[in-house]
A and B are shown apart, each in its own frame.
Chain A
Amino acid sequence: MHNPDRPVEVEVVERVEETPSIYTLHLRFTDPEVAASYRLLPGQYNMLYLFGVGEIPISIVSDPDFEGPLEHTIRSVGRVTRGMERLKVGDRMGLRGPYGRGWPLDEAEGRDVVIVTGGLGCAPVVSMIRYVLQRRERFGRLVILQGVKHTDDLIWRRQYERWQQMPDTQVLLAADVGGPNWPYSVGKVTVLFSQAGIDPDKSIVMLCGPEPMMKASIDRLLALNVPAESMWLSIERNMQCGIGHCGHCQVGPYFVCQDGPVFHYPELRPWLGVTGF
């Protein structure tokens, strides 16, 4: 029986400093056979292993068909991610995955894709945005709504500006607190909904970010007649095994590591915003 807990070796081939506390690692499988058989879906994650320190779940931001190294954007918040911050090009680490349920690609085909994110740059949707942009003809409008607390928190500002230039793509940004260099909206991400001109019947909404922000956004979208069934969200919990065994990531009847991290909103409705789940 294969040991599903055991990682394989990867090599850091590029390291990009996004902000003082966010970095992107480009990882290459050192075993070509493993590389050839690896398949991912937008919204999935890998368990990355720092030698001697531990494993941590990290979203994959690459497009599924991209054959180069796998990109992982990581925020230094815990002991493992702070340790990974110090990795250099050429260093080795462990990887296993991809794990979990990704974004609903089939349901999204032919519809307007509305991405709602909050907080510091939301890695789990980047892969989806790239997926749509690579296959532009298969989707309707692409609407990206991003809210941040402070204007400094917007990482990938250039990336957002680049996306803004893509055909049939709308990027709207809002910061709780504006400033002299902030040409965008001021307020919560929900202030952008009316500007976006969301067609409630044609749209599929994908949310990612802090849960209170997602809940507020969902309430606002429901008021705009977007059906609950058209909304999907990616959530985070303490994930240690990634394969539904260790029990830490439970929310109600789900193990986020396998049943998520992407959920259909009606599945999570009873649990979202309930303290302790």
Chain B
Amino acid sequence: MAGQNRNQTDALDRLNDRSNPRPRIAVHKFSSCDGCQLAFINAGEALLELAQLVDIVHFAEAGPMDPEAAVDLAFVEGSISTPDEAERIRKVRASSRYLVSLGACATSGGLQALRNFNDDGAKGWTEAIYAQPAFIDSLDTATPVAEHVKVDLELWGCPVNARQVFQALRQLLFGVAPVVDKDKLCVECKRQQHVCVLVAKGEPCMGPVTHTGCGALCPAFGRDCYACFGPAENPNTAALARRFEGLGLMPEAVARRFHFINSHAPAFRSEWLAWKQGS
């Protein structure tokens, strides 16, 4: 098939070149709510099954503690929000053959990345919220893992979908790259035969620009998508934003649709800026 010679080894080769048949796995936490780690913990039987297939060497929330351990496969939850985290993620990368960023915080900076748009970073909020802000040592920004180290696979979502995580893991156990479906949410929503909430109810649904993966949870209940899985491939945010305005949203409200869980993702950031300035 058309293409170039594949002559350099990559993370998948490194993962496959390990000597141990059972991969060693770590789940690391950075700035996050821990909700994505629950994809593993809430998996019930599948988690027991997983324990037969891999060695979980570090997963603080579930018990095993060995943050420095060299592993074949590292899952990283959370954004990089403190000087300590910026240092720690480099160590995690250096000790992992294959690194997966897990969830909105790790892939786009998450909800806390809203502070990236403040002129004074986290300072004003820290002072407003904490009794003794001097103890808080934050970076001015909360940023995705990929802005700090090379990431081999991104699994988006707030939170991630357990089925998506386990399918990716299964593919990596087979030694192949996981399928990453970057289609718009609408494709899955219509497979499930949900009635379009934008067309039938005039809701400002973000589905047409949002990365699929959640299973179309909100439209299943007649609710508009709020883009917790981040931007899809080829998102025409400008056309959707114009449509929201046509539905009666004020420019400020249009801007807010893009300024939420994945505000730092470039496609959403630029659309927010365009409408914020216009408002």
Contact = CB atoms under 8 A, between A and B. Distances in A.
B7 A82 contact: no
Chain B binding surface, main DSSP class? loop
Interface in A20-34: 20-21
A19 B170 CA distance: 29
Q: How large is the interface on A (under 10, 10 to 19, 20 to 34, 35 or more residues)?
A: 20 to 34
A52 B6 contact: no
A9 interface: no
Contact of A19 (B5, B175, B176): B5
A53 interface: yes
17 contacts: A20-B6, A21-B5, A21-B6, A51-B174, A52-B170, A52-B171, A52-B174, A77-B6, A78-B1, A79-B178, A79-B179, A80-B176, A119-B2, A120-B5, A153-B5, A210-B2, A236-B1
Interface of A: 19-21, 50-53, 75-83, 86, 119-120, 153, 210, 236
> Which of A50, A79, A153, A210 has the largest count of B CB atoms less than 10 A from its CB?
A79
A81 B6 CA distance: 12
Contacts, number: 44
Interface string B1-40: 1110111000010001000000000000000000000000
Given A20-B6, A53-B171, A82-B12, A75 B176 contact: no
Contacts of A76: 6
Contacts of B3: 75, 77
A76 B8 CA distance: 12
Nearest to A78: B1
Interface in B161-216: 170-171, 174-179
B12 to A, nearest CB: 7
Interface residues of B, number: 16
B5 A83 contact: no
Contacts of B16: 86
Contacts of A81: 1
A153 B3 CA distance: 12
B5 A53 contact: no
A98 B5 CA distance: 27
Contacts of B7: 20-21
Nearest to A50: B176
A153 B5 CA distance: 8
A266 to B, nearest CB: 23
Given A21-B7, A83-B174, A86-B175, 14 more contacts: A20-B5, A20-B6, A21-B5, A75-B1, A75-B3, A77-B3, A79-B177, A79-B178, A79-B179, A82-B6, A82-B12, A83-B175, A83-B176, A119-B2
Contacts of B12: 82
A52 B16 CA distance: 17
B53 to A, nearest CB: 13
A53 B176 contact: yes
A266 B17 CA distance: 49
B45 to A, nearest CB: 19
A86 B15 CA distance: 13
Contact of A53 (B1, B2, B174): B174
A151 to B, nearest CB: 13
B176 A79 contact: yes
A195 B177 CA distance: 45
A80 B175 CA distance: 10
Contacts of A236: 1-2
B21 to A, nearest CB: 13
A153 B179 CA distance: 29
A20 B9 CA distance: 11
A50 B177 CA distance: 13
A20 B8 CA distance: 10
Nearest to A82: B176
A20 to B, nearest CB: 6
The interface centre, meaning the residue of B6, B7, B177 with most chain A CB atoms within 10 A of its CB, is B6
Contacts of B176: 50, 53, 79-80, 82-83
Contacts of A77: 1, 3, 6
B97 to A, nearest CB: 16
Output the residue of B2, B7, B178 with the most chain A CB within 10 A: B2
Nearest to A238: B1
Contacts of A75: 1, 3
A137 to B, nearest CB: 35
A148 to B, nearest CB: 11
Nearest to B4: A77
Nearest to B16: A86
A78 B3 CA distance: 10
Contacts of B171: 52-53, 79
Contacts of A82: 6, 12, 176-177
